[in-house]
Amino acid sequence: MKQLMMLFFSFCFSLGIHAQENNDALLKQALNAFNEKEYAASAQIFEKLVKIDSLNAALHYNLGTSYLRMQNTALSIYHLEKALKLQPDYEAARINLNFAEKLKTKVTKGNLPIPQQQMLYSVFNFLKPNAWAYLAIASMFLTVMVLVIYRLNSNATAKKALFTLSIFTLAISIGSYFISKNQSDYLLMHHYVIVKDADAVLMNEPRTVAKVSATLIEGEKGFIQEATNQWIKIQLPNDTLGWIEKNKVLQY
C-alpha cells in the first residue's frame, strides 16, 4: 500500500513538472512571436496560457498588449483592465491601457463607481488569496498545537502565555480566512463590462424591442448594476443607465 501511495505521488509530481514545462514552452513561443511582430500568433498562444492561469496578471498584460498592437480595442482594454484588477500597481499595464483607450472612436466623460471590495483588496494585495488561505490553515493548526501544549503544561505562567498565544494565532487565522474570501470574491466576481461590438446599444428595458437609451462604441466601459440570463444592467461613466445583451460585452 505504501509503495502504491509513493508511486501515485510520484506520478502526480511528474505530471505537475510536465505541465509546467509545457507552459514555459508556450510562454517562450508567445514572447518570440511578439518580438517577431507576429501579434496574432502571440495573442493566440497567450489566450491558451490565460485559460490555464486566469489569475495571472502578467499573462493578461502580454495578451492585452498583443491585442493593442493589433489595434483590437475591446480585447486590449479588457485584458489590460484584468491585469490591473489582479495587480493594481502594474504600471506597465496602466500605461498600455492609456494607449488602448486612445483607440476608441470617442471618449466618454465621467468616472465609474468603485466596488467596495476593491479598497480592501488593494490594502492586502501583498499576498495572493491562496497565500492568505494557507496562512489561515497554518495559523489554525498552530492554534490547536498551542492549546494541546497548554492543556499538558502545569506551569501557571507558561499556561497564561500559551493561552494568549493561542488567542493571537486564532485571530490571525480568522482574519486571514476573511481576507482570502474577500480577495477571491473580488477577483472572481464581475463588476464591469467592456463593449466588444461596434453596433451595441443600451436599452431602457431588458427587451430587444425596448427604447434605445444610448448607442455604445467598442471598448466602452460600464459598471454592472444587475443581471439576468441574457441581459446586464449597466451604468456608464456619464451615469446613463440601461440594459445591454450579455453577448455584446466582456465582463471582468
C-alpha cell at position 156: 501557571
Domain finish residue from 160, 188, 216: 188
Q: Which helix H or strand E contains 195, and what residues bound it?
A: strand 192-195
Q: Which domain holds residue 156?
A: 118-188
CATH of the domain at 57: 1.25.40.10
By DSSP bridging, strand 249-251 and strand 192-195 are antiparallel
Are 36 and 6 contained in the same domain?
Answer: yes
How far apart (Å, rounded) are the C-alpha atoms in residues 78 and 190? 12
Question: Which cell numbers in the block locate residue 250?
Answer: 466582456
Residue by residue, what is the 3-state secondary structure of 141-163? HHHHHHHHHHHHCCCHHHHHHHH
Alpha-carbon span 230 to 244, nearest angstrom: 9
158 and 203 part of one domain: no
The whole-angstrom separation of Cα 5 and Cα 111 is 56
Give the chain's end-to-end CA distance (angstroms, integer): 47
**71: in domain:** yes
Last residue of a domain, one of 142, 172, 188: 188
- The reported pLDDT for the residue numbered 4 is 41
User: Which pLDDT does position 20 carry in this prediction?
Assistant: 66
Q: Are residues 184 and 195 in the same domain?
A: no
- 162 and 208 inside one domain: no
In a domain, residue 108? The reply is no
Asked if 61 contacts 80 with a C-beta cutoff of 8 angstroms, the reply is yes
Are 8 and 38 contained in the same domain? yes
Contacts with 15 (C-beta within 8 Å, 6 or more apart), sequence order: none
For residue 129, being part of any structural domain is answered with yes
Domain co-membership, 28 together with 89: yes
Both 140 and 163 in one domain: the answer is: yes
Which residues are registered as beta bridge partners of 231? 245
Going by DSSP bridges, is the β-strand pair 241-245/249-251 parallel, antiparallel, or unpaired? unpaired
What distance in Å separates the CA atoms of residue 12 and residue 216, rounded to the nearest whole number? 49
Same domain, 128 and 184: yes
Contact at 8 Å (CB) between 113 and 193? no
Examine residue 111 and state whether it is found in any structural domain, yes or no: no
With respect to residue 172, please indicate whether it lies within any of the assigned structural domains.
yes
Average pLDDT of adjacent 10-residue blocks, the chain of 252 residues: 44 47 88 96 97 94 98 97 94 97 85 86 87 96 96 92 96 96 91 92 94 93 96 95 96 94
CA-based nearest residue to 187, from 41, 54, 96: 54
C-alpha cell at 234: 449597466
pLDDT given for residue 7 in this prediction: 43
Residue 69 falls within a domain, yes or no? yes
- The answer as to whether 35 is a domain residue is yes
Pairing of strands 231-235, 192-195: unpaired
- CATH, residue 221: 2.30.30.40
Residue 85 placed within a domain: yes
Cell numbers 499573462 correspond to: 59
Q: Look-up: residue for cell 489590460?
A: 80
C-alpha cell recorded at residue 172: 490571525
Q: State the total domains in the chain.
A: 3
Q: Is residue 68 located within the same domain as residue 16?
A: yes
Both 201 and 182 in one domain: the answer is no
Instruction: Out of 72, 101, 130, pick the residue that ends a domain.
Output: 101
> Is the domain of 80 the same as that of 138?
no
pLDDT in tens, 112-127: 998 888 888 888 988 8
> pLDDT by residue (tens digit) across 132-166?
999 999 999 999 999 999 999 989 999 999 999 99
- Using DSSP, state whether 201 is helix, strand or coil: strand
Query: Is the same domain home to 32 and 96?
Result: yes
- Residues 93, 76 contacting (CB under 8 angstroms): no
